[in-house]
Structure 1
Amino acid sequence: MSRTYQVFVNDKPIILTTAVEKEDGFKNYLLSKVRIRKVIKTLNKTDLPKVHLIGKKEETLLKKFLKKLPNVIAGGGKVYNSKGEILFIYRNDKWDLPKGKTEKKESIEETALREVEEETGVKHLEIVKPLDTTYHIFKRNGKYRIKITYWFEMRSSYEGKLNPEQSEGITKVKWLSEEESKAALENSYANIRGLIE
């Protein structure tokens, strides 16, 4: 099984792969020749559910793709409390996990811990282990960028008040049980669902 990567445009994946499959409900493009803005437009403007970008070598797939647009590096956390609940934020009418951009000279772990605390008010955070990295394309000031988010599983014994960072557009912060998390994921993002499920 060859390694693939998914880069999300909203909730539609661009799948980076070396395997050429017959187009059935998706379109194939050659990674070396593709015009990335055209692919983004196609995904945004049509009901096509996904596209495949075909590369030659598995080990260079991601590197070649990431050169196509400016990269923004972020760190975030999937935080558990002592009851086994997961920390969620509510922003732009969707449930999400806390994350944010790195600041100069910070390690990615420091970024993730700082951003979780800033966005939620949760203290006493510790990293348990790294999780999958997610990739998604967003538009800022008319330009497309790729956000690369390094995620960490964290835990915290914090039982104090949760404090949504309103200046970042966060309206709610909640600890959700497994059942509540499942419900929240119905109104979340594909790359977040991948981290929780």
Structure 2
Amino acid sequence: MNNAKDYFCSMETPVNIYINEKPLVIAGLQQHLSPEFVNAATLFSPSDEETAQTIRLLDKGELPMAVLRSPNPETVLAQVKSHFTEFVAAGGLITNATGEVLLMFRRGKWDMPKGKLDDGETLEQCALREVQEETGLRNVRLGHLITETYHYYPLKEKKVLKHSYWYRMYFTGTELTIPQIEEDIMDIQWIRPDNLGKYMQYSYQNIVDVVVKAGYKL
């Protein structure tokens, strides 16, 4: 049985949901937000129609960002999710013995390995399987959960919201990486921490969030 919902009794807030790389932030009424969101369009206890309209404007690029505040942010998150098909995924931020971080070049962006949760898998099993499939690395040890991210993408006729769980992982072997070409992975590199900022300029906002939450300075 998939058990993603069992991992947190209450959601980690604020939550950033990236819609075409534009942040939709869900937070409590008194929760502190980053300075970048101080002047963002903000709705308090939004109705479902207001939520839908906000999503549409972000999707069209007519809003650069938006904030939804509520005394019950979990309810607002559920309201946002109702406008999408939700996929649960898991992946990892992998470091090697010298502390370098693994990044993959896929579809024009620097990314990290992750993939959709299969029936019967735990999140940890999914994260390790996806790392092994996408990078070819076998000797990988699972660490702690770093964070969760949400991002939207269109898939055929569906509007998909990918809810990804990200784990710390440690490569302990000597094997070379093997990019999974069928997943459009063209290159894999080990990046020194002090160079991560250069690569994050050509990555996704949810990946930047994972790197920052893992404690790296960009």
Would you say the 8 A contact 1:7–1:14 is kept in 2? Answer: yes
Structure 1 range deviating more: 42-51 or 74-83: 42-51
For residues 1-197 of structure 1, what are the structure 2 equivalents within 5 Å?
A: 3-19=13-29, 24-28=39-43, 30-34=45-49, 38-197=53-212
The alpha carbon displacement at 1:54 in A equals 3.4
Would you say the 8 A contact 2:45–2:71 is kept in 1? Answer: no
CA RMSD of aligned residues (A): 2.3
The alpha carbon displacement at 1:66 in A equals 2.4
Question: Could you tell me how far apart the structure 2 residues matched to 1:61 and 1:158 are?
Answer: 44
The alpha carbon displacement at 1:142 in A equals 2.6
Q: Which amino acid aligns with 1:155?
A: Y
Question: Could you tell me how far apart the structure 2 residues matched to 1:60 and 1:43 are?
Answer: 20
Q: Which amino acid aligns with 2:24?
A: I
Structure 1 range deviating more: 27-36 or 118-127: 27-36
Deviation per residue, 1:132-169 (Å, 9 max, x gap):
10011111013212100011001011222211111011
Question: Could you tell me how far apart the structure 1 residues matched to 2:99 and 2:46 are?
Answer: 42
CA gap 1:133/1:3 in 2 versus in 1, 3 angstroms: closer
Deviation per residue, 1:70-101 (Å, 9 max, x gap):
21010000001101011111111100110000
Would you say the 8 A contact 1:133–1:150 is kept in 2? Answer: yes
Question: Could you tell me how far apart the structure 2 residues matched to 1:90 and 1:166 are?
Answer: 11
The alpha carbon displacement at 1:62 in A equals 2.6
Structure 1 range deviating more: 134-143 or 25-34: 25-34
The alpha carbon displacement at 1:129 in A equals 0.5
Question: Could you tell me how far apart the structure 2 residues matched to 1:4 and 1:147 are?
Answer: 17
In structure 1, the residue corresponding to 2:146 is in which secondary structure?
Answer: strand
In structure 2, the residue corresponding to 1:131 is in which secondary structure?
Answer: strand
The two structures have a TM-score, normalised by structure 2, of: 0.80
The two structures have a TM-score, normalised by structure 1, of: 0.88
Question: Could you tell me how far apart the structure 2 residues matched to 1:3 and 1:86 are?
Answer: 26
Q: Which amino acid aligns with 1:88?
A: L
Would you say the 8 A contact 1:27–1:50 is kept in 2? Answer: no
Q: Which amino acid aligns with 2:197?
A: K
Deviation per residue, 1:148-194 (Å, 9 max, x gap):
00110010112222111110111011111112322111100111111
